[in-house]
Amino acid sequence: MAGSIVVRTLNPLDITPGEAGEIAAAIRSLNLDGKVRVEEQESEDRGLTWFEILHITLAFQIGRIVVDEAAKKIADVVVEWARQRFRGRRSGSKRPVYLEIHVRDDLGARVVNAIVIKNATDQPEDRTEKKLMFGLG
């Protein structure tokens, strides 16, 4: 399944490049046969958001089932990372983490996962259908 996986935080002041590197290392440990890299996004003067946003893009030239399984494994890694982060936060920030996983494969480009992790214990809120329903995916 050779391909590439890109981890990108939309605001490096929220999820730092070091934290994105931790996520990339955890994804590498899944042995998905893809090159994993962190892409730094320059901070832009956009409106404030309640979420700390993380995008992960998978680019593979294989079937949908395999890519979707890889996306689920990656989502699980990020959920666990976010839970650990909530447990260890020293600041008073309670902002949830919003994860969006994009796939570029032989079927085109699409969003396969859009989830919100609100704290260290609750199940993530799946927003994939909402994302697709409103034509944002």
The answer to whether residues 53 and 102 touch, using CB atoms and an 8 Å cutoff, is no
Query: Which CATH fold would you assign to the domain 3-133?
Result: Macrophage Migration Inhibitory Factor (3.30.429)
Tens place of pLDDT per residue across the chain (137 aa): 578 999 999 888 889 999 999 999 999 999 887 899 999 876 655 556 788 999 999 887 666 667 788 899 999 999 999 999 998 875 556 789 999 999 887 667 888 899 999 999 999 999 988 877 665 54
pLDDT of res. 92: 57
Q: Where are the domains of the chain?
A: 3-133
What CA–CA distance (Å, rounded) separates 114 from 41? 19
The answer to whether residues 109 and 103 touch, using CB atoms and an 8 Å cutoff, is yes
Please, which residues have CB within 8 angstroms of residue 133's CB and are 6 or more apart in sequence?
none
